[in-house]
Amino acid sequence: MAEVTLPILEMRNLGKIYAQGGRAIEALRGANLTVRKGEFICLIGASGCGKSTLLRLAAGFEQATTGDNLMWGAPITGPGPSRGMVFQDYGLFPWLDVRANIGFGPKSRGRSKSEIRDLVDRFIGLVGLQEFADVYPHQLSGGMKQRVAIARVLANDAEMLLMDEPFGALDAMTRERLQDELVEIWSRTGLTVLFVTHAIEEAIFLADRVVIMSPGPGRIEREYQIDLPRPRDIASREFNEWRRLLAAQLHSHHGRKAG
């Protein structure tokens, strides 16, 4: 009998209700998502459809109101180093240089100086910032800051990278370059990535699987396995067929009330 491997992340019938001004706001209803180790999954959908809520539940920053939220079959009860979050605004410590930002997690967990140095060197090299190791965040471009944020998560032994529109504030050329680099890092490390975006082209370029969410309240509507070979050509006929399909699916949500 074949061995059954647990998914790295399993969300079963998740619901999330917020209290706001004396009202109950249902942000998420009956969400089901299974993520296997090593997958790259993009969540897309209109504003207010629960993408970021789902990501924060995966990170353990918030607890679901209903349902099961599991990592390797165990309940997610709070944040942990195995799930690293990367935000659009980078979240770097401005008083620490690049090296110290990347080494912050291992240092706080009591790793030795030599271990920290080796980890930092490895991940600075992985994101191509060797020449900027002693630079502070305010001296870096947006793209460089996002590379530091990714390296910091990786150095903290993350098994899963949770990314909330991380490239949304970057110019188009930097965004494309970082998309290429993220795919390269993912393929080299075997990381699992759950990536929130509102950009259809970005989702098709990055993901093994695209999960479409719809509002009113937020729920997972459909999933698509993106079967395009890598590296992906955004000008190809097949890529544009996917773009038309997903755009039509998302546009069908227009007119619905966001939850």
Contact 213, 219 (CB under 8 A): yes
The Cα 219–Cα 156 span in angstroms is 31
The label of the residue with tokens 């079959």 reads 73
Q: pTM surpassing 0.85?
A: yes
C-alpha angle with apex 92: 60 to 97, nearest 5 degrees?
140
What is the mean predicted confidence (pLDDT) over 170-197? 92
Report residue 222 as tokens. 């459909």
Q: What integer pLDDT is reported at residue 253 of this predicted model?
A: 62
pLDDT tens sequence across 122-149: 999 989 899 999 999 999 998 999 999 9
Report residue 10 as tokens. 């399993």
Q: How many Cα atoms are found within 13 Å in the side-chain-facing hemisphere of 104?
A: 18
Alpha-carbon 1 to chain mean position: 34
pLDDT bin (cut points 50, 70, 90) of residue 46 is confident
Q: Which domains does the chain have, with CATH numbers?
A: 1-68+76-82+159-259 (3.40.50.300), 93-157 (no CATH)
Q: What integer pLDDT is reported at residue 258 of this predicted model?
A: 38
Which amino acid is it at 33? L
Residue 219, CA distances (Å) to 7, 16, 214, 222, 259 in order? 20, 11, 6, 9, 10
Q: Which of these, 97, 103, 127, 100, lies nearest to 115 by C-alpha position?
A: 103
SS3 209: strand
The DSSP annotation for 120-175 comes to: HHHHHHHTT-GGGTT--GGGS-HHHHHHHHHHHHHHTT-SEEEEESTTTTS-HHHH
Q: What integer pLDDT is reported at residue 149 of this predicted model?
A: 92
Q: Which of 52-61, 87-96, 190-199 has the lowest mean pLDDT?
A: 87-96
Asked whether residue 86 carries a pLDDT value surpassing 50, the answer given is: yes
pLDDT > 70: percent of the chain:
96
Higher pLDDT, 184 or 21: 184
What is the mean predicted confidence (pLDDT) over 62-69? 95
pLDDT tens sequence across 217-256: 889 999 999 999 999 999 999 999 999 999 998 887 654 4
